[in-house]
Amino acid sequence: MIDDEALVTLSGRYMLVPNPCTTEPCLPGMAYAVEADGQCFFLVQDGRLLPYSHAWNGWAPAVADVVSVTGAIRQQIDVRGNPYFTIEVIQLASLGESDGSLLPGV
């Protein structure tokens, strides 16, 4: 259970980005994250990165949607010594749909 005092709410873009290197050898993959204030926050549930999109209260976000995410933020260190941030998702909600401007090739 997450302590309520540790919860924060961030607003940003729902993105699919390369996952941090968490194994040796490093296994490439993609994970969902929220990009807020120039920082990437990897979405996790039960401490695990989310490699697939979830529906949240009946709503499924699309890449580049503007969202609000509430959860506990933790700084992690990958196997190469690089820091990254995770947010253990309690709630994810829409703040608006993408206009396509952040999608590659658009």
Q: Express each pLDDT in 65-83 by its tens digit.
A: 999 999 999 999 999 999 9
**Given this model, what pLDDT does residue 5 score?**
56
The rounded percent of the chain whose pLDDT value lies above 70 is 86
| Residue 102 placed within a domain | no
Q: Express each pLDDT in 33-77 by its tens digit.
A: 999 989 999 999 999 998 888 888 888 899 999 999 999 999 999
**Given this model, what pLDDT does residue 104 score?**
39
CATH number at residue 89: 2.40.50
| Residue 11 placed within a domain | yes
Give the contacts of 75 (CB within 8 A, at least 6 positions apart).
83, 84, 85
- Residue range(s) defining the domain that contains residue 41: 4-96
**pTM listed for this prediction:** 0.84
Domains: count for the chain: 1
